[in-house]
C-alpha cells in the first residue's frame, strides 16, 4: 500500500489522463412523497464529503475524472429511486465545479460523455449496480462489465473504502485491467485500522451496538484476542443479557445465538477481557417515539416492553470505562437514535469519544449507522479522531479477513 508521498506522486502522474475513480457515494436518501413532484434529499452527505479530496486532486492535476459508485441495493436493473443524479448535484456543490451526470454506466452515452470531456472535467456515471455484472458471482459476467468500465479510462483509482471488502467489478476486476493507485480516503482508512490492530495503544476498548449480534460474531471472536474492554449496547445487547440469565421482555433477541454469546462471555473471563453490559435500559410498550417508556434495571424488564436504548446509569458507566482509554473503536448505535427518547445512550458514547480527542487518544467511529448517528445528534467529524466511511469493511479488516479491493492494489 502506498504512503502519502507516493500517493501524491501517483495521482499527480495521472494528470491529462482519463481516470476512473471508484468512490463510495452510497448515501441515505429521503424519497419525496408520492405525487409531490419533489426530489430525493440526501440526509447524510458524509461519504460524499469524504470522496471530494481525491477527486479534486485529480481534477486539479488536469485529469478527466470519471467517478463511479453505487447507491442502495437495486437488483441489477435501473430503479429511479436509486439514481445517483441527486448525488451529482451535491458533489458539484462540494467540489465547487460542474459535475456532469451521465445517465448510464457503460455504453455509447457514457463513451460519448467521456470523449467530450476536457482536462479537469468531472463526470459521475449512473449507479453501477444497475448492471448485473457489477455484483455477479460469475467471473466471466463480472469481467465483461469490468472490460466496459476499463474502456472508459486510462487509469484507475480505488477510493471507495466502504466496498473494498467486496469482490465486485468496479472494486476488484477493473484494478486488474488498468494502471492503478489507492486513493487518499482508502489510504487514510487503512492507516487508522492499522493503529487498531498493530502496536495498539492501551487500554483499548471496543464499543459494539446495532441490532443483531449475529452480524458481529466473527469480529467479537477476533476482538477477544486484542481488546482490553468490550462494551455492548444496542439491540444486540439483549442476547448478551439473556445469556446471563435475564428475561428481556419483547426486546430484540436472537435465541439461536444465546449459547454462542455465553461462550464468548466465558472466553472473555478466561482471557481477562472486561465485557461491560448495561445495568439499566430504556424500555417502551411499542417501537415508537410516542410509546410509553421508562428506565428499568436489566433484571426487571417488564414482559410487555422492549428495550430501545441503554439507560442513564449505563451511559455514565460506559463513560467511566472509556475515560482512560488510549484507543477506542465504536461500531453500532446504543439505541434507536432516530427517535429522541432513545438517543441518549448513543449521545453519551459520542460525547465520551469526543473527549478522547482532546487527550491525544484515538477514538474511531466505525462507519455506517454509527457515523450517521453522531452527525444526526449534532456532532462534527472533527470531534473524533476518525470517522470511517465503511462499517462492514472496517469490521472485516478487524476480523483479519482478506479484503479483495485492497489486495488487488498491492502489485
**Annotated binding-site residue? 307:** yes
**Annotated binding-site residue? 26:** yes
CA distance 410 to 393: 17
Of 46, 368, 385, 405, the catalytic one is: 368
HEC letters along the chain: CCCHHHHHHHHHCCCCCEEEEECCCCCCEECCCCCCCCCCEECCCHHHHHHHHHHHHHHHCCCEEEEECCCCCCCCCCCHHHCCHHHHHHHHHHHCCCEEEECCCCCHHHHHHHHHCCCCCEEEECCHHHCCCCCCCCHHHHHHHHHHHHCCCCEEEECCHHHCCCCCHHHHHHHHCCCEEECHHHHHHHHHHHHHHCCCCCCEEEEECCCCHHHHHHHHHHHHHHCCEEEECCCCHHHHHHHCCCCCCCCCCCHHHHHHHHHHHHHHHHHCCEEECCCEEEEECCCCCCCCEEEEECCCCCCCCEEEEECHHHHHHHHHHHHCCCEEEEECCCCCCCCHHHCHHHHHHHHHHHHHHCCCCEEEECCHHHHHHHHHCCCCHHHCCEECCCHHHHHHHHHCCCCHHHHCCCC
**Annotated binding-site residue? 137:** no
Grid cell, residue 343, equals 438517543
Examine the residue annotation and report whether 18 is marked as an active-site residue of this protein.
no
Grid cell, residue 347, equals 449521545
**Annotated binding-site residue? 401:** no
**Annotated binding-site residue? 70:** yes
**By the 8 A CB rule, do 183 and 54 touch?**
yes
Examine the residue annotation and report whether 392 is marked as an active-site residue of this protein.
yes
CA distance 344 to 337: 8
Say how many C-beta atoms besides its own lie within 10 A of residue 11's C-beta: 25
Of 47, 142, 305, 375, the catalytic one is: 47
Altogether, the residues listed in the chain come to a count of 411
Examine the residue annotation and report whether 212 is marked as an active-site residue of this protein.
yes
**Annotated binding-site residue? 129:** yes
Of 56, 97, 100, 212, the catalytic one is: 212
Of 17, 262, 392, 401, the catalytic one is: 392
**Annotated binding-site residue? 360:** no
**Annotated binding-site residue? 72:** yes
**Annotated binding-site residue? 24:** yes
**Annotated binding-site residue? 81:** no
**Annotated binding-site residue? 370:** yes
**Annotated binding-site residue? 47:** yes
Known binding residues: 24-26, 47, 70-73, 129, 166, 216, 307, 338, 367-370
Residues at the binding site for substrate are 24-26, 47, 70-73, 129, 166
- The residues annotated as belonging to the active site are 47, 212, 368, 392
Q: Binding site for ATP: residue ranges?
A: 216, 307, 338, 367-370
Amino acid at each position: 500500500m502506498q504512503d502519502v508521498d507516493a500517493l501524491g506522486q501517483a495521482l499527480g502522474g495521472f494528470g491529462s489522463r482519463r481516470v476512473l475513480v471508484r468512490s463510495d457515494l452510497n448515501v441515505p436518501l429521503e424519497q419525496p412523497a408520492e405525487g409531490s413532484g419533489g426530489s430525493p434529499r440526501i440526509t447524510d452527505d458524509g461519504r460524499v464529503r469524504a470522496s471530494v479530496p481525491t477527486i479534486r486532486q485529480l481534477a486539479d492535476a488536469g485529469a478527466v475524472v470519471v467517478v463511479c459508485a453505487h447507491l442502495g441495493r437495486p437488483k441489477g436493473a435501473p430503479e429511479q429511486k436509486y439514481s445517483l443524479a441527486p448525488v451529482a448535484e451535491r458533489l458539484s456543490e462540494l467540489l465547487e465545479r460542474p459535475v456532469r451526470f451521465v445517465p448510464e454506466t457503460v455504453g455509447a452515452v457514457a463513451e460519448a460523455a467521456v470523449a467530450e470531456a476536457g482536462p479537469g472535467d468531472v463526470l459521475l456515471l449512473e449507479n453501477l449496480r444497475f448492471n448485473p455484472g457489477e455484483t455477479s458471482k460469475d467471473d466471466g459476467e463480472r469481467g465483461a462489465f469490468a472490460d466496459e468500465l476499463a474502456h472508459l479510462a486510462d487509469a484507475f483509482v480505488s477510493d471507495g473504502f466502504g466496498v473494498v471488502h467486496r469482490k465486485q467489478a468496479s472494486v476488484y476486476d477493473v484494478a486488474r485491467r488498468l494502471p492503478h493507485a489507492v486513493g487518499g480516503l482508502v489510504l487514510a482508512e487503512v492507516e487508522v485500522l492499522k493503529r487498531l490492530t498493530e502496536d495498539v495503544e492501551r487500554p483499548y476498548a471496543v464499543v459494539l451496538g446495532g441490532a443483531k449480534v449475529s452480524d458481529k460474531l466473527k469480529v467479537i471472536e477476533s476482538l477477544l484476542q486484542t481488546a482490553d474492554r468490550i462494551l455492548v449496547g444496542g439491540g444486540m445487547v439483549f442476547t448478551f443479557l439473556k445469556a446471563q440469565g435475564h428475561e428481556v421482555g419483547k426486546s430484540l433477541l436472537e435465541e439461536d445465538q444465546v449459547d454462542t454469546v455465553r461462550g464468548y462471555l466465558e472466553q472473555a473471563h478466561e482471557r481477562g477481557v472486561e465485557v461491560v453490559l448495561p445495568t439499566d435500559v430504556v424500555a417502551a410498550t411499542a417501537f415508537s417515539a410516542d410509546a410509553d417508556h421508562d428506565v428499568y434495571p436489566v433484571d426487571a424488564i417488564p414482559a410487555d416492553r422492549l428495550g430501545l436504548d441503554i439507560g442513564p446509569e449505563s451511559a455514565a458507566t460506559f463513560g467511566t470505562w472509556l475515560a482512560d482509554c488510549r484507543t477506542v473503536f465504536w461500531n453500532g448505535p446504543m439505541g434507536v437514535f432516530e427517535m429522541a427518547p432513545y438517543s441518549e445512550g448513543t449521545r453519551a458514547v459520542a460525547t465520551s469519544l469526543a473527549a478522547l480527542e482532546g487527550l491525544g487518544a484515538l477514538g474511531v467511529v466505525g462507519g455506517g449507522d454509527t457515523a450517521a448517528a453522531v452527525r444526526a445528534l449534532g456532532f462534527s467529524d472533527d470531534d473524533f479522531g476518525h470517522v470511517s466511511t465503511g462499517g462492514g469493511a472496517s469490521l472485516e479488516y478487524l476480523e483479519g479477513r482478506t479484503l479483495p479491493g485492497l489486495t488487488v492494489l498491492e502489485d
